């Protein structure tokens, strides 16, 4: 196995995304108040489940808010109620909920999974409007590209999908942005930026979560999703990556892009095979191996992230199709996660550290990557990690108290002053989604056992003996290139001028007299012993 003893050469973490100003503060404030009312109606602002945990002086206010809760606020768990409120508030709130689902360490695993089920299903807009959007974006009639164009089969907060058929008989999926969605997104982001500033100013506990960087990460993801040409490029890139991985643990494919049907507001893909995993009948397909399918979800994600540094960052059931025996097809490529070499090594070594129970290495990796402030103790952090990992490793999910585990993890991150890292939000979000999909397929799924082959392969390839030989060869090659450049452009000789120093005569006389006097004094002091 690879050498994990040498410190990794981690680069400095990228700076957080620049914070944009609140452009319309009055409108943003009014919109925030409207959001607060919707949350109150869904009993999601101060849920009744946490009221006993609040300070006494706040409980009366929480009870007052509960009195205004509607029918929506009396049913379901807190995460389910918050998810429904976010669906009511629109695309930015939905995206916020999907990102909050990554913070299971803060809110608990059940709450995070409830939010992770946000499918942002909305009422579709009319087919006539979709046709106009297609024609405006592509610059030609719908009939010029499609022989048949069907009604919407899925409608989300940003876009909706239509089945269509090409002249060669292929069935395709046409994704069309909602009219006016850009304006709604801009307004929602303005309100979220205001809320982040208020949280930083008045809620000290929230500062560790870096709310402004959190919002800007969401904003950047949404802006990319609002250009279908960028999603088409992401779909094409991920298809190439997944095709390379077939046979080496990828276990996931992507539909091909129909570039003639791509515009700023329109995306056309081949129809995905199999059944959507949101369909209750999907798990009952003949010959489907649910255990293998759960493994493949995890391994497909890790293969993309570790081997290529590019991964599908929205892998929930609504974006996955499956068919026997355990094949997966991903759709909806609006969010793509990217990891540099340092982050990939960080992820691999963390996973391998837990698999091999090397908590000291996990601790040192966190310090080397800058995720734990240097004033803390490496040994103390390793001890804390051991307390988290030992009760979990090797046990089935049904035997693990995830609530207690994640509560302990949050206590550790607070104890060691660990802040939210914006560059890892998409990675954390996807890992939570992937684990949730796998656990719903198999409640006793062992995430660590599924991850082991992919992580071990990466460690062996990147840190094993062959990798060390490869790195040595690369160093020799770089040295030879440097020597060749030196031979071609030798350093130019430099002329050194040596000037004779001229000492003033009076200095010479004074030094001579001083030396003579010192010699005479020495002789006189030794004279008795001489005679």
**DSSP per position, 477-513:** HHHHHHHHHHHHSPPPP-----------HHHHHHHHH
Task: Report the pLDDT averaged over residues 517-525.
Answer: 63
Above 90 in pLDDT, residue 52?
A: no
The pLDDT tens digits for 427-445 are: 777 877 787 788 778 877 7
Which residue reads 């768990």 in tokens? 77
Which of 433, 401, 449 lies closest to 103, judged by CA?
Answer: 433
- The pLDDT, as a whole number, for residue 523 is 56
CA–CA dist 467, 474 (Å, integer):
10
The pLDDT tens digits for 312-341 are: 988 888 889 998 888 899 998 888 888 888
The phi-psi region of residue 83 (left if phi > 0; otherwise alpha if psi is between -120 and 50; otherwise beta) is alpha
User: Band of the pLDDT at 3, cuts 50, 70, 90?
Assistant: very low
How far CA 272 is from CA of 332, 441, 510, in Å, comes to: 11, 20, 100
Element (H, E) at 154: strand 154-155
The pLDDT tens digits for 454-504 are: 888 888 877 655 555 555 666 677 776 776 676 677 666 655 555 555 556
Task: Report the pLDDT averaged over residues 201-206.
Answer: 75
Residue 401 backbone dihedrals phi, psi, to 5 degrees: -85, 90
Q: Determine what percent of the chain is predicted with pLDDT higher than 90.
A: 17
The pLDDT tens digits for 226-254 are: 999 999 999 999 999 988 876 655 578 99
- The pLDDT, as a whole number, for residue 369 is 72
pTM over 0.75: no
The pLDDT tens digits for 121-155 are: 678 899 999 999 999 999 999 999 999 999 999 88
| DSSP 3-state of 149 | strand
CA–CA dist 163, 269 (Å, integer):
10
What distance lies between CA 145 and its chain's CA centroid?
37
| DSSP 3-state of 196 | helix
Entry field: residues in the chain: 531
User: Band of the pLDDT at 7, cuts 50, 70, 90?
Assistant: very low
User: Band of the pLDDT at 357, cuts 50, 70, 90?
Assistant: confident
Task: Report the pLDDT averaged over residues 183-207.
Answer: 85
User: What is the pLDDT of the chain when averaged over all its residues?
Assistant: 78
Q: Cβ atoms within 10 A of the Cβ of 527, count?
A: 9
Task: Report the pLDDT averaged over residues 351-356.
Answer: 76
- The pLDDT, as a whole number, for residue 245 is 73
CA–CA dist 324, 20 (Å, integer):
47
CB contact at 8 A, 68 and 41:
yes
Element (H, E) at 321: strand 320-323
Task: Report the pLDDT averaged over residues 399-407.
Answer: 50
User: Band of the pLDDT at 21, cuts 50, 70, 90?
Assistant: confident
User: Band of the pLDDT at 10, cuts 50, 70, 90?
Assistant: very low
The distance in angstroms from the start CA to the end CA of the chain is 83
Active site residues: 314
Task: Report the pLDDT averaged over residues 159-177.
Answer: 94
**CA angle centred on 449, ends 443 and 454, rounded to 5°:** 125
Which of 314, 318, 293, 296 lies closest to 245, judged by CA?
Answer: 296
- The pLDDT, as a whole number, for residue 118 is 67
Above 70 in pLDDT, residue 14?
A: no
- Name 440's Cβ contacts closer than 8 Å, sequence gap at least 6: 317
CB contact at 8 A, 235 and 257:
yes
The DSSP bridge pattern shows strands 154-155 and 159-165 to be antiparallel
């Amino acid at each position: 196995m690879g050498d994990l003893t040498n410190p990794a050469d981690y680069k400095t973490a990228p700076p957080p995304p620049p914070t944009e100003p609140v452009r319309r503060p009055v409108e943003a404030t009014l919109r925030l108040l409207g959001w607060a009312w919707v949350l109150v109606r869904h009993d999601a602002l101060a849920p009744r489940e946490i009221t006993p945990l609040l300070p006494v002086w706040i409980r009366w206010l929480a009870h007052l808010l509960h009195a205004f809760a509607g029918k929506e606020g009396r049913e379901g768990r807190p995460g389910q109620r918050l998810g429904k409120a976010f669906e009511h508030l629109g695309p930015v709130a939905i995206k916020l909920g999907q990102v909050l689902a990554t913070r299971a360490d803060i809110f608990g695993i059940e709450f995070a999974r409830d939010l992770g089920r946000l499918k942002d299903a909305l009422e579709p807009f009319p087919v006539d409007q979709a046709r106009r959007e297609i024609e405006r974006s592509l610059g030609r009639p719908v009939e010029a590209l499609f022989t048949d164009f069907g009604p919407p089969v899925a409608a989300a907060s940003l876009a909706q999908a239509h089945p269509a058929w090409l002249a060669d008989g292929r069935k395709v999926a046409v994704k069309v942005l909602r009219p006016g969605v850009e304006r709604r997104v801009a307004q929602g982001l303005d309100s979220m930026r205001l809320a982040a500033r208020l949280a930083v100013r008045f809620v000290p506990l929230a500062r560790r979560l870096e709310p402004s960087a959190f919002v800007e990460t969401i904003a950047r993801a949404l802006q990319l999703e609002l250009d279908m040409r960028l999603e088409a490029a992401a779909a094409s890139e991920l298809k190439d990556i997944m095709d390379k991985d077939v046979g080496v643990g990828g276990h996931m494919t992507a539909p091909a892009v129909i570039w003639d049907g791509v515009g700023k507001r329109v995306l056309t893909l081949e129809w995905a095979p199999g059944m959507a995993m949101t369909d209750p009948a999907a798990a009952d397909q003949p010959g489907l191996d649910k255990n293998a399918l759960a493994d493949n979800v995890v391994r497909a994600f890790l293969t993309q992230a570790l081997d290529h540094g590019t991964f599908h960052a929205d892998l929930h059931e609504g974006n996955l199709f499956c068919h026997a025996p355990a094949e997966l097809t991903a759709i909806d490529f609006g969010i793509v996660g990217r990891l540099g070499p340092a982050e990939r090594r960080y992820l691999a070594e963390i996973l391998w550290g837990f698999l091999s129970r090397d908590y000291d290495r996990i601790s040192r990796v966190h310090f080397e990557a800058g995720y734990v402030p240097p004033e803390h103790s490496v040994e103390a952090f390793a001890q804390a990690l051991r307390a988290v990992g030992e009760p979990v490793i090797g046990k089935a999910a049904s035997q693990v108290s995830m609530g207690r585990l994640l509560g302990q993890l949050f206590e550790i991150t607070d104890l060691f002053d660990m802040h939210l890292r914006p560059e890892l939000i998409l990675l954390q979000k996807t890992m939570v989604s992937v684990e949730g999909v796998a656990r719903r397929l198999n409640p006793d799924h062992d995430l660590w056992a599924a991850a082991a082959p992919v992580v071990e392969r990466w460690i062996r390839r990147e840190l094993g003996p062959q990798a060390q030989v490869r790195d040595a060869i690369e160093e020799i090659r770089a040295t030879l290139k440097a020597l060749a450049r030196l031979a071609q452009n030798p350093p130019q000789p430099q002329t050194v001028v040596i000037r004779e120093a001229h000492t003033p005569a009076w200095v010479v006389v004074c030094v001579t007299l001083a030396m003579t006097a010192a010699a005479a004094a020495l002789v006189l002091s030794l004279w008795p012993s001489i005679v």
